[in-house]
A and B are shown apart, each in its own frame.
Chain A
Amino acid sequence: RKEVEQDPGPFNVPEGATVAFNCTYSNSASQSFFWYRQDCRKEPKLLMSVYSSGNEDGRFTAQLNRASQYISLLIRDSKLSDSATYLCVADSGGGADGLTFGKGTHLIIQP
């Protein structure tokens, strides 16, 4: 059974702090990974794609550890607007049914 596990949170973090959360996956055949951001009652939006060991985009860094089968998302200098739920996705290839979504980690940035 393919599973992607995330700590649901919420993570309460003061503005300006650095926060990191992990996502573990059970399917060792997973080839690529994605982080999506979902605001309350809105659609998910792609935040980052991870095809190798990691990716960095501004204040956001994703790192992949294949040996331990987890992906992390690090947010530096957090902003109030970073408050959202972050969904982790593992792709084992083979089309649409190869995608497995985690249930998400809820992040709240406090002023």
Chain B
Amino acid sequence: SQTIHQWPATLVQPVGSPLSLECTVEGTSNPNLYWYRQAAGRGLQLLFYSVGIGQISSEVPQNLSASRPQDRQFILSSKKLLLSDSGFYLCAWSWGANGELFFGEGSRLTVL
């Protein structure tokens, strides 16, 4: 069966510090991978998605970046965090491009 894990689960970071969130998928090959952010009172916002190694599409301009160094690994990074980066970050995978997404446990980031 397929599983998805992301870490760390909780982060408290000062403004201007770097960020690295990691996500791995097991039990499937060449999945579509996604990073979403869920801010308080808002719907899920797609940040990045990837259909293959090294292929990253960005949905919104921001100070975040994503990388896919391996088929089942997706990393979300920032060089300098802003207060507005606080939120619940969710990694997800899917078979192909459809709305049936399988989410990781989420990473709750608080920027102070």
Contact = CB atoms under 8 A, between A and B. Distances in A.
Nearest to A4: B43
Give the contact-size bracket for chain B.
Answer: 20 to 34
B101 interface: yes
A32 B90 contact: no
Given A41-B108, A43-B105, A103-B41, A91 B99 contact: yes
Nearest to A96: B49
Interface string A87-111: 1010101111111111110000000
Interface in B37-57: 41-44, 46, 49, 51, 57
Contact of B46 (A34, A43, A96, A103): A96
B108 A99 contact: no
B34 A96 contact: yes
A80 B55 CA distance: 43
